[in-house]
Structure 1
Amino acid sequence: MPHKFNAARRDKITKQKQRVTNWSEHNEGLRQRGDLTVWISKDALGLWSAPPRTIRGSQRKYSDLAVEICLTLGVVFKQPLRQTQGLMRSIAGLLGVEIAVPDFSTLSRRSSGLTLRATQKPGGGKLVHLVVDSTDLKIFGEGDWLEEKHKTKRKRRSWRKLHLGLDLVSGEIVCCDLTKDDVGDPTALPDLLDQVDGPVDLFLADGAYDGEPTSELLATRFGSTIEVTIPPPKNAILSPNAPKDPTERDCHVAEIAARGRMAWQKATGYNRRSRGETLMGRWKTVIGPKLKARNFENQKTEARIGVRVLNRIIGLGRPSFERTA
C-alpha cells in the first residue's frame, strides 16, 4: 500500500475472512509438490547423455537437460552443488538406472550461460495482466553484522536484484531478470517486456516505475490502449497539456486530489499489486532469500531455474478463495 496509509491504526482494522472453495484439489496439489516423479521422468533420463557433436571439439558427456535437472533439484531442496551431486546419485540408485551423475565442478562450469530447455511460455499468447516488482537477494560475502560491528567495507557486493513479472490471469511468472543492485527498476523493464509472450492490456507497478520513459515504453510495445496503473508521488503535478489532452497519469493525479489515494486504489484496482509482493514472499519461502552461486552468470541461471520451479508448483494447483466476512 503506497505511503503506508492507516499504518497507525492498522492493528485495529478487522482482517478479511476467506475460505478455500477447491480444498480437495488444492490439497492434492500440495502433496504433489513433494513428489519426486514431478521433477524426473523417463523421458528426461532418456535424454541424459549429450548428443554427438557435429563440429570439432571434445564430446560433452552430459546434456543441458541433465545439468538442468541436477540444478533444479538443488534449488528445490536448497542443496549446495556437492550435496546436489550426492542427492542425484542416490536417486539414480533408487531408480535402478545406470547414469553418470555430473560432479559439482561440472555443474558449476556448465551452469554459466546454461540454455534451459524450451517450454511453452506462461500465457501462451493469451491476454496478460502484468504486475512487475523487484526484491533483493543476498549473495556470498561478509554480512551486515560484520560491517556494522567493525565498520569495515565489504570486499564485494552482497546483494542482487531480482525482477519478476506476474500474470494476474494465469498466476504464473511470465518474465524475470537478475541484475546487480545498482540497476534501477525502470532500467530493467525493457528486458522483462521482451520475455512476455502475448499482448498486455494491464500493467501494475509501484511508484518506482513512475515517469514518461515507462509510459512511452509500454505504449510502444503494447499500444496506446494499455491500462497503466502506477501511483504518482505525493508532490505530482499535472502536465502542461492536461486541460486539453490529459494523459493517464494526469487522470490518476486528478482523481487522487479529488477523492483521496485510498479511493483511487479501489477504483483503479491497484490493490491487486499486492499479489506481486506475495510472489516475492513465496520466492523467499520456497526458493530462499539467498543465491548459492558465486558467479554472476551462474546466479542468473539459478534465478531462471527458480522461476521454473515456482511455475511448476503453481501448475500443480492453486487455491480459489471466496470472502466470507
Structure 2
Amino acid sequence: MPFKHNAARRDKFAKVNYRVTNWAEYNKALRQRGDVTVWISEDAVRGWYAPRSGKRGGQRRYSDLAIETCLILRVVFGLPLRQTQGFVRSLLRLIDLAVPVPDFSTLCRRAQSLQATPCDRPTSGPMPLIVDSTGLRVHGGRGWMQEKHGLPKTRRTWRKLHIGLDPESGEIVASCLTTEHVGDPGALPYLLAEVVSPVRRFIGDGAYDGAPTAATIREALGPDVELIIPPPKNAVPGEGPSRNAHIDMIAAHGRIAWQKATGYGQRSRGEAQIGRYKAVIGPKLRDRRMETQTTETQIAVKALNRMTRLGRAVYERAA
C-alpha cells in the first residue's frame, strides 16, 4: 500500500490508555438512559392542547409540546410513526392520564414546521466550539428489489449533518442538516447562527481553512475568537496573522508539536460525538422530506443532550 512505503522511517506512537474514574455515577447514568419511567407535570398537561389562534377555520388540537414529546420517544426508541402513536397511548394509559394522542398522520404533517425547543444550557463563560460533519443515509431500500427483479437502480443520495460541540459540557450546541452538495464552509453560516453562547476558540479540520471562511467565523462569533484550523502542507503566509503564526510554528516545530500546543487534538471529540449519534440514534434518516428530516435531527440532538446531562464518564490517563 502507498501509505506503508515509508513505514520503516515513520515515528511510532504508543497508544495511550485511559481509565474511567467515576464508574458508579456513570453506570447509573447509563441505566437512566434506558429507563421508561414517565411522568407528566401539570404544566405539561395544561400545555398539551394548542391554544386557539383567533382565526377562522379549523384549529390545531395539539400543541408543539405534545408533538415534540411523541417525536422524541420515536427517535430514542427507533419507532415508526404508527408504533409511536401506540407506544405513547400505552404510556398514558399506564399513568391514568386521559389526554388524546396525536395520530401518525398528524405527527408527520406537524413535523414539517415544528421548531424543537432548545435545551437550556448554563454558561459560565466563553466556550470552545468544535465543528464537524457526517453523512446520514436517506430512508429507502438497499437495492434488493432491483437486483431480484431487474429494475433500474435508483441513484443513492444522503444528507450531511453539521454539528457544533462544546467539549466542556459534552453537548451539541448547534446542528444543521443540508444536502450532500453543500460543503462544510457553505453550511457554516447557518450552523454558527444557532450558537447562542460566546465562543473563545473555534476548532475545525482543514476544510475550514481559507480567508472567506475565517471572515465568516469572526463575523458570527466576534473578532477575538481564536481559530485552530490546520493549514495544508503547501500553505504560504497570507493576510491572516493567526494563520501565519500556525504556518511558522508548523515549519519550525512540526505538525505534532503544533497540535499539542494549540489543543487541536480536542477535535477528536467531535468525531466521537458523531459516532455516538450513529450508535444511539442510527446512521440513517427515517423521514422522507427535507423539512421533516431537519426536525428529526434537531430532536435527536436534543435527546442526546438530555442523555449527556444524566452523567458523563470522567477519564484519566493510565500509567
How far apart are the structure 1 equivalents of 2:235 and 2:258? 15
Partner of 1:133 in structure 2? 132
Are 2:292 and 1:293 equivalent residues in the alignment? Answer: no
Note the alpha carbon deviations across 1:141-191, whole angstroms, 9 max, x for none: 354788999895535x52000000001222111100001110111111111
How far apart are the structure 2 equivalents of 1:105 and 1:221? 39
* Root mean square deviation of aligned Cα: 2.7
Q: Any conservation in 2 of the 1:125–1:198 contact (CA below 8 Å)? A: no
How far apart are the structure 2 equivalents of 1:94 and 1:303? 29
How far apart are the structure 1 equivalents of 2:191 and 2:14? 37
TM-score by length of 2: 0.90
Partner of 2:32 in structure 1? 32
Amino acid at match of 1:138: R
Partner of 2:242 in structure 1? 248
CA separation of 1:306 and 1:39: change in aligned 2, threshold 3 A: farther
Partner of 1:45 in structure 2? 45
CA separation of 1:52 and 1:22: change in aligned 2, threshold 3 A: same
How far apart are the structure 2 equivalents of 1:258 and 1:145? 55
Partner of 2:254 in structure 1? 260
1:69 partner SS: helix
The worse-fitting range, judged by mean Cα deviation, of 48-57 and 204-213 is 48-57
Give percent identity, aligned residues only: 53
Partner of 2:61 in structure 1? 61
Q: Any conservation in 2 of the 1:139–1:290 contact (CA below 8 Å)? A: yes
2:73 partner SS: helix
**How far did residue 85 of structure 1 move?**
0.9
Partner of 1:172 in structure 2? 171
Q: Which runs of 5+ in 2 are unaligned?
A: none
Amino acid at match of 1:81: L
> Runs in 1 of length 4+ with deviation above 6 angstroms?
4-7, 144-151
How far apart are the structure 2 equivalents of 1:307 and 1:263? 34
**How far did residue 64 of structure 1 move?**
1.0
Partner of 1:81 in structure 2? 81
CA separation of 1:148 and 1:265: change in aligned 2, threshold 3 A: farther
CA separation of 1:230 and 1:17: change in aligned 2, threshold 3 A: same
CA separation of 1:140 and 1:124: change in aligned 2, threshold 3 A: same
Q: Any conservation in 1 of the 2:189–2:220 contact (CA below 8 Å)? A: no
How far apart are the structure 2 equivalents of 1:96 and 1:270? 52
Q: Which runs of 5+ in 1 are unaligned?
A: none
Aligned length: 314
